Amino acid sequence: MGKGVWIVAEQREGAFRKVSFELASTARKLADQLGEEVSAVLLGSGVEGIAGQLGKYGVDKVFVADNAAFEPYTTDAHAAAVAKIVKENDPSILLLAASAQGKDLAARLVGKLATGMASDCTDIKIDGGKLVAVRPMYAGKCYGEVVVSGSPQMASLRPNVFPVVESAKAGAVNKFDAGLDAAALKTKVLEVQKETGGTIDVSEANIIVSGGRGMKGPEGYGILEELAGVLKAAVGASRAAVDAGWRPLKDQVGQTGKTVSPNLYIACGISGAIQHLAGMSSSKYIVAINKDPEAPIFQKADYGIVDDLFKVVPEMTKECKKLLAE
């Protein structure tokens, strides 16, 4: 069994994604309990300059490989590089983000490193020197505690769940050669189509304002977008709304959509089908607004309002604007 808690930091266009700091902070906590060091792998093109930022969140060493082949992300290039440096250093624990990129990379690494991984964890601890990962299963209808007997013990962490904690360490930069074999880079990103309007993805939002069948149609979402705008929130949707074509698929929250854990989830006109509840009941606070007092969503809600959402939501927008201006 190796030593050291490692993370794979995630950056896009030369800036760390927040989840990288969540990974670093969590790794620090685990490493302190084990009496080990925290190391990070950083891949990209022209990213050496940002590597040191990880020191602020408890990273002792950053292993940086700089190569044009790392941008944009491809599984082939990133998995080969991470597997190489991890095999050379034999850490005990390897953490990645359960982001779009992290999920793709982490799963390939499970194959390359011939180990096991707990995916999309919401809690993680050390027990008897071993990693114990806690993760929602069945979209959150129950939780599993997972122990990994392979090496390294891998886990991917759900973004926005683990706190960012400052803890100054060296963040010493070690450059390494990823030894990429051009012939092994088989997939190619032909195009990156960015979404316009700077909307926040539901999987990364601190606050989600979500609408269901009660929105009555796509135009109903206007009031949710206004409230979301004030709260810097993402707009989510139930499966009913997505299947009706009112909202894009990427906004769907639930068992066949995204499972989310924001600080605040405001459910508007969502009755609370079991698949939807599974996908959002790990939110820290839940507000439900629904005309039907019997709607199952109220059983999960911290605060409930039984009323017409078309009357309540615009008033909330006004009130939030006022409160946030104070």
Partner 1 sequence: MNIIACVKQVPDTEALIKAKPDGSGIVEEGIKWVMNPYDEFGVEEALKMKEKFGGDVTIITVGPPRVMETIRTALAMGAEKGIHIDDPSLYGADAYATATALAAAIKGIPYDIIFCGQRAIDDDSGQVGAVLAELLGIPQVTIVTKLEVADKAVKVVRPIEGAQLVIQSPMPCVVTAQKGLNEPRYASLPGIMKAKKKPVEVKNAAALGITAESKAKVVKTVPPPARPPGKIIEGDDPALKAATVCKLLREEAKVI
Q: How many residues does the chain have?
A: 326
Binding mask 50-89 for partner 1 (x = CB under 8 A): ----------------------x-xxx--x----------
**Looking at this protein, which amino acid is placed at residue 12?**
R
Q: Find the shortest distance in angstroms from Cβ 37 to partner 1.
A: 24
Answer for which of 143, 165, 176, 216 binds partner 1 (CB under 8 A) is: 143
Q: Taking a C-beta distance cutoff of 8 angstroms, is the pair 284, 264 a contact?
A: yes
- Using alpha carbons, select from 87, 8, 92 the residue that is nearest to residue 47: 8
When asked if residue 129 is in the footprint of partner 1 (CB under 8 A), the reply is no
Total number of residues that touch partner 1 (CB under 8 A): 97
> Exactly one of 68, 182, 192, 325 binds partner 1 (CB under 8 A); which one?
192
Q: Could you say which of 166, 175, 249, 292 contacts partner 1 (CB under 8 A)?
A: 249
Min dist. Cβ of residue 103 to partner 1 (A): 6
149 binds partner 1 (CB under 8 A): yes
Out of 14, 46, 49, 144, the residue judged to bind partner 1 by CB under 8 A: 144
The binder of partner 1 chosen from 77, 106, 157, 267 (CB under 8 A):
106
CB atoms within 10 A of CB 296: 17
What are the Cα distances from residue 111, in Å, to 66, 103, 151, 235? 24, 13, 12, 36
Going across the sheet that includes 61-66, the strands are: 117-121, 153-157, 93-97, 5-8, 38-44, 61-66, 172-175
Beta bridge partner(s), residue 285: 264
Question: Applying CB under 8 A, which of residues 24, 27, 40, 207 lies at the interface with partner 1?
Answer: 207
| 15 makes contact with partner 1 (CB under 8 A) | no
